[in-house]
């Protein structure tokens, strides 16, 4: 199944100040997440993001928040984004049924969101190198579970080039510079 940019929305999950420092491979996570956000913006893919209990876990990391500006995050208390009424409204009113997902933590909020998106007739596409958990085992098992549940798993570079579709366009050239 080819994924097209006209069918997608980007979702950045809980990239927050007090949670992020504890993530496995946090430097690569931040780099890939920012690359994904910029690439999706170049391709005209709409984005949204969530914050899990920001009073306790802090706001979204400044570089991520800046990249997503002028958007405001959707605050949530539930682990699944789909259990938050504000997110659910975005999901239910969008004609786009494919969600390109990055963020933290893979085995909790992202996993539960993936399952709920699938249950609601949407297709989650998890960007493996732009997601993480506090430990490698949780991340690895979450990636297996995504596949078992029926989600797609990809990488940042792979999804950006898949959405770009052809070389030689202005978008392709900008994305090529982004991923180098």
**Which residue range forms the structural domain that includes residue 85?**
12-179
pLDDT of residue 13: 98
| pLDDT surpasses 90 at 1 | no
pLDDT digits (tens, 9 = 90+) for 131-145: 999 999 999 999 999
Decide if 49 contacts 12 (C-beta within 8 A): yes
In a domain, 4, yes or no: no
pLDDT digits (tens, 9 = 90+) for 91-133: 999 999 999 999 999 999 999 999 999 999 999 999 999 999 9
For residue 165, what is the domain's CATH number?
3.40.50.850
In a domain, 58, yes or no: yes
In a domain, 57, yes or no: yes
pLDDT of residue 15: 98
Does the pTM of the predicted model rise above 0.75?
yes
Decide if 82 contacts 91 (C-beta within 8 A): yes
In a domain, 7, yes or no: no
In a domain, 54, yes or no: yes
Nearest Cα neighbor of 105 from 73, 135, 132 is 132
In a domain, 130, yes or no: yes
Long-range contact pairs involving 160-164 (C-beta distance under 8 Å, separation at least 24): 160/35, 160/36, 160/39, 160/40, 160/43, 162/2, 162/3, 163/3, 163/4, 163/5, 163/8, 163/39, 163/40, 163/43, 163/45, 164/43
Residues 6+ apart with CB under 8 A from 104: 13, 14, 15, 16, 19, 20, 23, 29, 110, 131, 132, 133
pLDDT digits (tens, 9 = 90+) for 20-61: 999 999 999 999 999 999 999 999 999 999 999 999 999 999
In a domain, 135, yes or no: yes
Question: Considering its fold, how many domains does the chain have in total?
Answer: 1
| pLDDT surpasses 90 at 180 | no
């Amino acid at each position: 199944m080819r994924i097209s940019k006209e069918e997608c929305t980007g979702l950045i999950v809980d990239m927050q100040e007090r949670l992020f420092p504890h993530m496995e491979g946090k430097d690569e996570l931040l780099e890939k997440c920012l690359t994904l956000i910029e690439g999706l913006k170049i391709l005209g893919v709409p984005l949204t993001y969530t914050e899990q209990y920001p009073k306790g876990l802090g706001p979204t990391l400044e570089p991520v928040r800046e990249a997503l500006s002028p958007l405001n995050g959707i605050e949530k208390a539930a682990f699944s984004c789909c259990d938050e009424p504000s997110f659910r409204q975005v999901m239910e009113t969008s004609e786009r049924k494919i969600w390109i997902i990055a963020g933290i933590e893979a085995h909790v909020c992202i996993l539960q969101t993936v399952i709920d998106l699938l249950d609601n007739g949407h297709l989650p596409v998890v960007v493996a190198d732009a997601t993480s958990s506090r430990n490698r085992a949780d991340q690895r098992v979450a990636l297996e579970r995504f596949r078992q549940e029926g989600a797609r798993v990809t990488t940042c570079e792979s999804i950006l080039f898949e959405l770009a579709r052809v070389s030689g366009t202005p978008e392709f050239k900008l994305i090529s510079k982004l991923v180098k």
